[in-house]
Amino acid sequence: MISEFQDLSDKIDRLAQLAQTLRSENYLLRQANALLSTENLDFKNRLTEAQHRVEALLSQLEPADPDADAESADPDADHDDEEAAQ
C-alpha cells in the first residue's frame, strides 16, 4: 500500500514538474509572439509607406492629358488627319 502511495506521489511530482515546464514554455512563446506581432506590424507599416511612394511615383509618370497619350501611341493618326484635311 505504501508503494502505491509512493508511485502516486511520484506521478504527482512529475505532473507538477511538467506543468511548470509548460508554464515556462508558454511564457516564452507569448514573449516571442508579442515580438513577432510588433515586427509584423512594423513591416506592414513599411510596406504601406513603400506602396504610397510607388503610387506617387506612378502618378508622376502618368500623362496629364489622356488625348496626348492616344496620339503618341498612334503615329499614323496625325498622317490620317492631314490626308483628310487635304
Kindly report, residue by residue over 15-73, the tens digit of the pLDDT.
999 999 999 999 999 999 999 999 999 999 999 999 999 999 999 997 766 665 555 56
- pLDDT at residue 9 above 80? yes
| Overall domain count for the chain | 1
**Separation of CA 82 from chain center:** 54
- pLDDT at residue 76 above 90? no
Q: Give the CA distances from residue 47 to residues 11, 50, 58, in Å, rounded to whole numbers and listed in that order.
A: 52, 5, 16
- pLDDT at residue 75 above 80? no
Which residues form the domain of 46?
Answer: 2-85
Q: Give me the pLDDT at residue 1, please.
A: 82
pLDDT level of residue 80 (50, 70, 90 thresholds): low
C-alpha cell at 62: 502618368
